[in-house]
Chains A and B, each alone.
Chain A
Amino acid sequence: MAIISFSELEKKCAEENKSIYEIALEEESVLSGDISDVIRLRVLEDLLAMKDAVRNGLVSEEKAVSGWCGDDCQKLVKSFAARQSLFGKVFEKITAYALATAEENLRMGRIVACPTAGSCGIVPSVIIAVAEEKKIPEYQQINGLLTAGIVGLIVSNKVQLAGAVAGCQAECGVASAMAAAALVQMLGGNTGEIINAAALALKNILGLTCDPVCGLVEVPCIKRNAFLAVHAVTAAELALCGVESKIPIDEIVDTLKITGQLMSPLLKETSLGGLAKTKTALELEKVLHSQNDRT
């Protein structure tokens, strides 16, 4: 029987005296017929691919088809080498890793959709940056990714994780909630704190639209990965301090779904509204079309 709500997940954790990641393993094991070690190995495969994407993205300056994007990560790497950021090393790594991954994605590099390709930088940047800076071993990173996975899965049982269905709140927003949960798990938080972190992250991105310029996964998608990765840290830190979401997460997920339904189709991955219809976006569209015709 699938877990369809966070209250059910919390109850199950309490009854069986298990962590969220253990329940995630259990559920996946029942579904796939694989033992938990095999599932952990598959998660490790994802984790290693995420690390590869960060490594590749950190050194590349190759531009994407639009000619607009692809060199922002390098700006961070160079600047932070010369000047420490206000928030320190973890912040520097998270923002750089998020951009590295998202830029790899747009130049057709190898990434892990988590939950989608457009939001692929958020979960990895938080897990990898914090693991490096806090010396968190690999098996705990896997526990973090398993925790992120079940958080995303429960949301996806209620609302399809696609910008075309519910806007960016269902892509980068859900990724941020997943990352927040992973982070609290890795830092030793309990079940309630993990779920609260996800709730706080999700609650504060409700209404985020999907309005990509020229229909490309570039503007505003790439930089949004860095913003929502840091957003996840805020949620995790608050949750670890004992701050609770007054609205329970299941009701937030319902709200996300309804907000997605209320959102105009013009703002749901059609590029017919929002940033995609700005003067500058329309000019770029013309340039791209002329390039497209030439090829």
Chain B
Amino acid sequence: MEQKSLFSVISPIMVGPSSSHTAGAVRLGLMARNIYKNDFSKVKFVLYNSFATTGFGHGTDKGLLAGVLGYHVDDPAIKNIFDNVKNVSYSYDYAEDISRHPNSVDITFDDKMTISGDSVGAGEIRINCINGFSVNIDGTYDTLLLMYKDRPGMISTVSDIIQKQKVNIASLHCDRDSKGGTASMYVALDIPVGEDVVEKVRQIKDVFFVTNIRKLK
């Protein structure tokens, strides 16, 4: 059994009214922002199931937008976020899909990257899909995420670079669309690596996307 912190019970400090529908929404937005990393001018949210049906009364729409704009769960400005958005257009769609978690969202930046995630309770979240590739990122670890052309040796090349920094790998997961097709890898780390490591990974042959995802506070 994984030991839980005292602060899982007497925290977080957050704006209300719901840890799953408000704080969880902000953290999903923040995590998506951490993954996409680039400035963006357009963001689209598709809210599913309970997020879609009861999100209105819980400020889920505000929370998601505030998150992608970099606000933290306890920022009182979230309440009036619609009045404070500049230079970013945003839209919401609502859908039902019983195959997905009750509190689920797709976040699309500039029509370039779609990040899907769930709010799994008590403000905890899980990112489970990036541009169609399955991942499992809950924001508790600094994580290196890369996409590349599937070929032998990629795992050892990446882990070798990380090992040389004396950083321990907490977990590692790969996925691919087909043999020799596009693959994804995420590496959860005990301590964050620097941009120099990201650059080294970027220079590996056949890697076409890499990002260094900071864990959530």
Q: Which residue numbers of A lie inside 8 Å of B, CB to CB?
A: 2, 4, 24, 27-28, 31-32, 39, 42-43, 45-46, 49, 64-66, 104-118, 120, 123, 145-146, 148-150, 152-153, 156-157, 160-162, 164, 178, 214-218, 271, 288, 292, 295
Assess whether A288 is in contact with B57, with CB atoms less than 8 Å apart. yes
Q: A116 touches which one: B1, B50, B122 (CB < 8 A)? A: B122
Residue among A104, A105, A108 with most chain B CB within 10 A: A108
B window 43-57: CB within 8 A of A: 50, 53-54, 56-57
Q: Which residues in B have their C-beta under 8 angstroms from that of A46? A: 7, 10-11, 13
Query: In the bound complex, do residue B15 and residue A162 qualify as a contact, i.e. CB atoms below 8 Å apart?
Result: no
Residue among B23, B53, B62 making CB contact with A113, cutoff 8 Å: B23
Chain A residues whose CB sits within 8 angstroms of the CB of B23 once the complex forms: 113, 117
Chain B residues contacting A115 (CB-CB under 8 Å) are 9-10, 122
Q: Is the CB of A113 within 8 A of B58?
A: no
**Interface residue ranges, B against A (CB under 8 Å):** 1, 3-20, 22-23, 50, 53-54, 56-59, 62, 74, 76, 78-79, 121-123
Chain B proximity of A122: nearest CB distance (Å) = 12
- List 17 additional contacts besides A110-B76, A117-B16, A215-B53; criterion CB under 8 Å: A2-B1, A2-B3, A43-B10, A45-B13, A108-B78, A109-B15, A113-B23, A113-B123, A114-B9, A117-B19, A120-B16, A123-B10, A149-B6, A161-B9, A161-B122, A162-B20, A162-B121
> Contact at A153–B18, with CB atoms within 8 Å?
no
In the complex, chain A residues whose CB is within 8 Å of the CB of B14:
110-113, 117
Contacts of A117 in B (CB 8 A): 14, 16-19, 22-23
Whole-angstrom distance between the Cβ of A201 and the nearest chain B Cβ: 15
Q: Which B residues touch A43, using CB under 8 A?
A: 10
Measured in the bound complex, the distance between the Cα atoms of B123 and A145 in whole Å is: 20
